[in-house]
Amino acid sequence: MDLNDKQDVRRNRIRFVLDGEIVSAEITDPTRTILQYLREDLRRTGTKEGCAEGDCGACTVVIGEPGHNGGLQLRAVNSCIQFLPTLNGKLLLTVESLSEPGGPLHPVQQAMVDYHASQCGFCTPGFVMSLFALYKTRRQPDRREIDNSLAGNLCRCTGYRPIIEAARSMYDYEGDGESSWIRRVHRVGGNGAPPDEIRLVNLVKSIQPKFSLSIEAGGKRFFAPVSMTELCALISQHPGALLLAGGTDIGLWVTKRLRELDTVIYLGCVPDLSTIDAGTDYLEIGATVTLTDAMKAICEIYPDLEELFIRFASPPIRNAGTLGGNVANGSPIGDSMPALIVLGTRIVLRRGDVTRELPLDRFYIDYHKNDLHPGEFLQSIRVPVAVPGRLLRSYKISKRFDQDISAVCGAYSLQLDGDIVNDIRVAYGGMAATPRRAHICERTLRDREWTEDTVRSAMKALDDDFAPITDMRASSGYRSTIARNLLYRFFLETSGSRNANTQVYDYGS
Ligand SMILES: Cc1cc2nc3c(=O)[nH]c(=O)nc-3n(C[C@H](O)[C@H](O)[C@H](O)COP(=O)(O)OP(=O)(O)OC[C@H]3O[C@@H](n4cnc5c(N)ncnc54)[C@H](O)[C@@H]3O)c2cc1C
Ligand code: FES
Ligand code: FES
């Protein structure tokens, strides 16, 4: 064990790289956020707090980790919901990192000034950091990529047109305004990382945790095991502990519900949980693979899911949140589950050395209640490989296109034998206490001709499958209508009988 590592553990400290230097930070409360630490301890007040729930992007920072090409992988995240100990062994960039004090501005900042992309300025550091992540990771983004990169940033006064123009133009500026150490992080392209970036990567690697982090401070405990064996041992020693993955659900329990989390076990340092393996029968996605990486891998085999996943939260949330967290949390309005269910996804649950496999649709028992036994955790998600001829769609209905929670999310998988429905699976989120299949509707369709008449009777059958509730997102009646119409949309898109953009009316009642 490294001497510095030993000392840091004794003193409840973590280490990370900031502006090219290793920083050792004392943890006084394991659920303090990175944002609180930046503003209150380091007095780096450029990073702002708007909503404290991952919605507005004012708090956006960029996190760097050693990437696959030998360089750094940079990703924007919301610092307001990330607990400080999760920064251990990583590189942090804040808006203050980009240019030298008193020197010229970074190209992203200069473009924001030149295109009048800021008025009150409160949201601006967050926009700058999201654009900085884009600047370093994409050479010539198109409008869709620019819009997507900004989906997690809200501006209430300037309007988005000047910000988008700044984003388009930032590539035209010389990099003179970049701080000397930021210049070491090269823009994407070329073969492998250049020597100065490799030196920075090595600095980050030198502080990678080699053994479990164990913090006791402020009456709370925080563990970050670095192996599966240690994780299993910790879970059995602390059966009541909360498992933390990307923290995009849990972070809000602290910042919004003001919950005190006594004992937390962080899963993000266990390498076996963060891999994606492509097998002949299924894609095995480790429970802590980020939504960004998991969705990319799934969309490579199921491109029809791309729009759903682009509309899942925002890049900073997808960069931190995990597919495992979405599945384990089991929210009735979680967006990945309807699609995963109709694909026939299975999950692997583990306790100690014992694992068991379960179809995902059998995992959910009741509202936020699942079939995890005491001491068990989700190890991986097995997404079956594409079946030739299978028709697949998932549609999300929410009030806004970007960064919004679903009122209803429907998913459909269809296998036709000629015109006859050979296999059909239909699942919804937002229609019941858990995401679940519409078995009665499926029975109405199976072995029948895939025609408008059949689909209309299946639309009616959805009323026997679900009795949705009314809440602030949608009324019960609206949900039922939408569920029927989404099935009809699926029919239109897959039967070739009408244009996919045909306006859909309620034929159900
Ligand atoms: C602004 C914002 C927008 C969002 N938008 C969407 C959206 O559009 N669609 C959507 O579906 N969700 C959305 N979410 C919710 C959230 O991002 C997802 O549910 C995410 O996938 C949670 O993953 P996580 O890794 O952050 O989970 P965490 O917050 O770390 O954990 C969530 C729960 O899962 C448990 N858990 C995590 N991993 C495991 C494991 N391996 N084994 C057992 N239990 C585990 C935790 O104990 C906890 O109970 C949004 C959240 C925010 C803040
Ligand atoms: S403060 Fe709004 S996203 Fe963090
Ligand atoms: S400039 Fe005021 S909120 Fe964006």
For 194-244, the pLDDT digits (tens) are: 888 889 999 999 999 999 999 999 999 999 999 999 999 999 999 999 999
**Looking at the predicted structure, is the pLDDT value of residue 47 above 60?**
yes
| Best residue for ligand 3 mutational test, from 49, 51, 119 (most atoms within 8 Å of Cβ) | 119
Q: Which residues of 64-92 are buried (b: 16+ CB within 10 A; e: fewer)?
A: bebeeeebbbbbbbbbbbbbbbbbbbbbb
- pLDDT surpassing 50 at residue 1: no
Q: Give, for ligand 3, the residue of 56, 95, 157 to mutate: max count of ligand atoms closer than 8 Å to Cβ.
A: 157
Instruction: From the CA of 81, give the closest atom in ligand 2.
Output: 4
Give the distance (Å) from ligand 2 centre to CA of residue 122: 11
Give the distance, in angstroms, between the CA of residue 266 and the centroid of all CA atoms in the same chain: 16
Q: How confident is residue 115, by pLDDT bands cut at 50, 70 and 90? A: very high
Measured in angstroms, how far is the CA atom of residue 51 from the centroid of ligand 3?
Answer: 14
Ligand 1 touching residue 335 (CB < 6 A): yes
Amino acid identity, position 507? Y
Q: Whose CA is nearest to atom 31 of ligand 1?
A: 325
Atom of ligand 2 nearest to the CA of 50: 1
- Ranges of beta strands (E only) in 236-322 are 242-244, 263-266, 276-278, 282-286
Spatial separation of the C-alpha atoms in residues 192 and 207, rounded to whole Å: 22
Which run of H or of E encompasses 411?
Answer: strand 408-417
Helix 160-169 × helix 107-114 angle, to 10°: 140
pLDDT in tens, 393-438: 999 999 999 889 999 999 999 999 999 999 999 999 999 999 999 9
How many CA atoms within 13 Å lie on the side-chain side of 97?
Answer: 26
| Contact by Cβ (8 Å): 200, 16 | no
Q: Cβ(213)–Cβ(85) under 8 Å?
A: yes
Residue 62 · residue 114 · CB < 8 Å: no
Which of 48, 113, 120 to mutate to test ligand 3, by most ligand atoms within 8 A of the CB atom?
A: 120
Ligand nearest to the Cα of 312, by number = 1
Residue 336: CB partners within 8 Å, gap ≥ 6? 291, 312, 323, 326, 327
DSSP helix/strand/coil, 12: coil
Q: pLDDT-derived band of residue 5, with 50, 70 and 90 as boundaries?
A: low
The CATH number given to 391-495 is 3.30.390.50
Whether the CB of 284 sits within 6 Å of ligand 2:
no
Ligand 1 atom, smallest distance to 248 CA? 26
Q: How far apart are CA 246 and CA 250, in angstroms?
A: 8
Report DSSP state, residue 182: G
Q: Is the CB of 61 under 6 A from ligand 2?
A: no
What is the enclosing helix (H) or strand (E) of 393?
strand 391-397
Q: Enumerate the domain spans of the chain.
A: 3-206, 391-495
* Second-level CATH architecture of 3-206: Roll (3.10)
Among the bound ligands, name the one nearest to the CA of residue 77.
2
Task: Determine the atom of ligand 1 nearest the C-alpha atom of 251.
Answer: 29
**Average pLDDT of the chain?**
93
Q: What is the pLDDT of residue 190?
A: 58
* 178 confidence band (pLDDT: 50, 70, 90): confident
Residues forming a β-bridge with 61: 77
Residue 160 CA to its chain's centroid (Å): 24
